[in-house]
Chains A and B, each alone.
Chain A
Amino acid sequence: MALTISIDHKAADKVREFAELQNMDQFGLRVGVKGGGCSGLTYVLDIEEGPRDDDKIIEEHGVRVFVDKKSYVFLAGTVLEYDDGLNGKGFEFKNPNAKSTCGCGTSFSV
């Protein structure tokens, strides 16, 4: 298992698209987790101008990904994909640390 977080090409393109809609020149994708959701932890996705202190920064397909250190523990090895078909789910986390996920897929437990 790779101990990093990666983002696929489609997801990176979509992040850029959202940043353009918000007229952001400087941006990165905030990826994290927060407490809550049926299974205990919920994924967080946001577009931010820059990293915060102590963030881990990963760059792939021209997009910077910001992850706080505590979230990183639960996300190491995760691949962020984007599924855009008619039945697509949008952004999708493939997280090898998740032992179970709730019905809607946004919440997981480790």
Chain B
Amino acid sequence: MHDTLITAPTYIYVPEPSYGLLEIHGPDAEDLLHRLSTNDIMQLDVGGSITTVFANPKGRIIDRVRIAKTHHAIYLYTSPDAAPIIKKWLDSYTFMEDVTVIDITEKKQTLEVMGARADDILNKLNAIHEISPNEYNQFHGMTPNETRSFPLCDSIQENTLVITRTDDPIYPCYLVQVQSSYVDKFLAAELPNTQWLSPSERDALRIYAGIPKAPNEINLKTNPLEIGLRTDISFNKGCYIGQEVILRLDTYKKVKRHLVKVSLGAGTTPLVGSDIVIKGSTLSSGRLTSIAEKIDGGFEGLALIKSGVRDYDQDFEIHQPGVKLQTYLYPIETSK
């Protein structure tokens, strides 16, 4: 799949199911998010965004979210179906704080626009949304993690187009939040040189970039250090839920497994959850967590491999009845 990126200038993906979206208001919002998640939310300025992890006291992951801050509100993009879980988590830890959390997943739709000509598509999107002329070109030159909101001509407060540059899973990538009622207009527009991604194609890009997702890698059995989310953790911000465990794992180098990329030969599609063993052995070295077919044959995947056997020169194979595929491990280059 990633080989096609060279020829296709722009991709659009309408997440199915949609990413969860929470809108948060109140003077204590940043402080609450700061105390409940791994990253340094107090450093987040209006016009920025940051990824962070909500963990339980054992350091296991509830969800990884992207937080975007505008003048109007703070937005939390959660994994699909995770918005009610995160809302409940935030509500349960809200005592005297002045914070309101609203689940707007049904009202808004998030799209992803990515690839070398993504700017052109955003221009088209802005035109469809009738953004007032002085706002029209303001998304140009957006830097990674920047967030901008564009009030629409009808000037209704909630009709705001919010764009965040994520560069996830490819560079550049924009996360676009629009009113659900506008999506059909966008889908019907003529967008030359644009490829609409299917969920499996989008997932192949994610795997290529080595980015974990729920529930495959992000779940209550993993911690953020195991799955490569080190950059989502602030190690000097002070206490947050799960901090004691996460810090101990890091300080004493007790992370027991790591997420790696795997390349597998052609054959029967291996199942997510299959054991990965050192060639010739039956002892499990880890577990396949995500898999995608490569266009040139074979498969690419992600796997959680035990730290003691994470040897990139070693030959591995999938241990699954009826399937025998040569398997190679590769480190994930980015730490997203």
Contact = CB atoms under 8 A, between A and B. Distances in A.
B93 interface: yes
Contacts of A70: 95
Interface stretch (B125-133, B220-228, B234-242, B281-289): B234-242
Interface stretch (A6-14, A20-28, A32-40, A86-94): A32-40
Given A38-B243, A39-B244, A71 B96 contact: yes
B294 interface: no
B95 A36 contact: no
B285 to A, nearest CB: 32
A109 B92 CA distance: 13
B36, B239, B240: residue with the most chain A Cβ atoms closer than 10 Å: B239
Which size class do A's interface residues fall under?
20 to 34
Given A36-B241, A37-B241, A42-B239, A109 B95 contact: no
B96 A34 contact: yes
Interface of B: 32, 34-36, 56-57, 92-97, 239-245
Contacts, number: 61
Contact of A32 (B35, B95, B242): B95
Nearest to A68: B96
A35 B239 contact: no
A34 B35 contact: yes
Contacts of B243: 38
Contacts of B241: 35-40
Nearest to A46: B96
Given A102-B244, A103-B244, A107-B239, A38 B57 contact: yes
A39 B57 contact: yes
A20 B34 CA distance: 33
